[in-house]
Structure 1
Amino acid sequence: MSQATAVFGGGCFWCVEAIFSELSGVLEVIPGYSGGHVENPTYEQVCTDTTGHAEVVQVTYDPESISYEDLLRIFFSTHDPTTLNRQGEDVGTQYRSVIFYSSEEQRQSAERIKAEMAPLWDDPIVTEIVPLERFYPSEDYHWDYFRRNPQSGYCSMVIAPKVAKFRREFSQRLKAR
């Protein structure tokens, strides 16, 4: 089985991780930080909105089972790529919509799929497409957060409805349960 990685930021990494973890062909999803100027940032530092990092997920997937382009389409369909530095009530540059590419092929695909998805939105897409310089995994307690904490307020009020909508819209793409 071949493996590839993609790095996306679409608001709170708990939400993005919950979505991508359910996809068939996705092998692992790690929440973390990318795009900033502080080495080995902590969650507390990133939350100050002063490190330049975005909350992101690193998605390891089997490109023979799911393509990078399909991951991009799901990314653009499961968050609001038209709001600058926010997703819902989560506000700050750490919640920006961003694709970190690790090759010219990924960059070109991201630009192409961004243009393809633009007509689906009333406002212009503000998603950044920038080179991946470094990915820092988050602290362990963020990993698989939604699955481990389904009754927490944020999970039940924000993530659960988003995941339910995703499951309805992308049922053919989900892992067998």
Structure 2
Amino acid sequence: MSSAPSRAGRLVWGVGILALVWLAVSELGITSDDGGAAKPPTTSTSTTGRLTVTDLKDGDSFDASDGREYRLGMVNTPEPDERCFDEAEAFTRDFLAGGFTADAYDEDDYGRVVAEVLDGEGRSLNVALARSGLADDRYLDPFRGDHPDLADRLDDAFASAKKPACR
């Protein structure tokens, strides 16, 4: 009697191993969008320690003391030539004056860290801008699946938004 597995048995084992590898790769979300080099998925990570803003670009993006550029997820504030730009920029500057932490959950096409940004008391700048009326929901539906909990809180904030007093 031979103790070696039959050809059919080896085939079953091979298919099983390939299925396990495929499942592991799928669960890890490894992709190859960049010329075949696999990269892990972006996951939600919170910054350690409090960061400060080093260059405020506008109400929804800024450079921080960790050398990274941040973009607030799922909210859009006015650009420099649009009404309420000064108010949105001032709101963000004041909100983050004491430092912030970030729950980073993606990276955008410009290499910015997409995040929910929290002040020292744990309040969300994303939600506060939406509630203030200084942000719009332009990016809410297209990116809702990236952070469903934040999207739900933004739905409530946009629904109760005030009309801002802007110059």
TM-score normalised according to structure 2 size: 0.32
Whichever of the two has the greater Rg, that structure is 2
